[in-house]
Amino acid sequence: MLVMTETVQDYLKAIWMLDRTGSVSTSALAERLGVTAASATAMIKRLAGVGLVRHEPYHGVSLTEAGTQAALEVIRHHRLLELYLMQALGLSWDEVHAEAERLEHHLSETLEARIDAALGHPTRDPHGDPIPSPELALVDENDRPLSDLARGMEAVIRRVPDGDPELLRYLAQLGFMPDERVIMVGHAPFDGPLTVEVGGERHAISRELADRIRIEGSP
């Protein structure tokens, strides 16, 4: 029997996050969690031993159904807490992620339900990430990177990366926030910056940043 410690929850959450962008290697996991490859390997063995992950040589690590449920539970806590801290306590959108990272491990089911009700059963957190339902179902995400938007086309910002406060302050300053409309004005050649209009103003942003902002809408 493995206790759901903070460390275990952080591993499951990290595997879930990495899994969305492809297969999860031990080294990618170790890098994300800031641990050595040896300790990641040891933990993966323990998690596999209790049926939370599968580890197949050459195929990396993946979550079992039980592991997925445990990861989504923590993610639900995290995203509800972010919204609650912002709406109820007035924290800014660049502060809530770090606080939610701590509190997500300590939220009881009762408090989770009360926060959910107090917020009116929200479906997205302040950064646009979908909040898993109480049954831990997650809506399909149809979003794609802003960098994919063709010239002259318009779309709506769905999600922005939540973990870097400085980046969030910058995005807010330019107006790149969920539900804002954006128009792709132009792509500079040779991997140069993209010019994007948001809130009636044009901004040049790097392709790398545009890859991390997710949009929905026209091709």
Of the candidate spans 139-147, 149-157, 160-168, 177-185, the one that interacts with Zn ion by CB under 5 A turns out to be 160-168
- Distance between alpha carbon 100 and the CA centroid of its chain, in Å? 12
| Closest distance of CB 54 from Zn ion, Å | 26
Q: Cβ closer to Zn ion: 13 or 97?
A: 97
Q: Cβ closer to Zn ion: 10 or 162?
A: 162
Q: By CB under 5 A, is residue 77 in contact with Zn ion?
A: no
| Closest distance of CB 193 from Zn ion, Å | 27
> Which member of 162, 184, 210, 214 binds Zn ion (CB under 5 A)?
162
d(CA 96, CA 114): 19
Of the candidate spans 5-13, 32-40, 159-167, 170-178, the one that interacts with Zn ion by CB under 5 A turns out to be 159-167
Of the candidates 134, 109, 14, which has an alpha carbon nearest to the alpha carbon of residue 62?
14
Question: Bridge partners of 186?
Answer: 195
| Closest distance of CB 121 from Zn ion, Å | 19
Beta-carbon count within 10 A of 89 CB: 10
Alpha helices by DSSP H, listed for 88-176, are 96-103, 109-118, 165-174
- Distance between alpha carbon 93 and the CA centroid of its chain, in Å? 14
Are 32 and 18 contacting, i.e. CB atoms less than 8 angstroms apart? Answer: yes
| Closest distance of CB 83 from Zn ion, Å | 10
Q: By CB under 5 A, is residue 73 in contact with Zn ion?
A: no
Q: By CB under 5 A, is residue 97 in contact with Zn ion?
A: yes
| Closest distance of CB 72 from Zn ion, Å | 14
| 3-class secondary-structure state, position 33 | helix
Contact residues toward Zn ion (CB under 5 A) are 97, 162
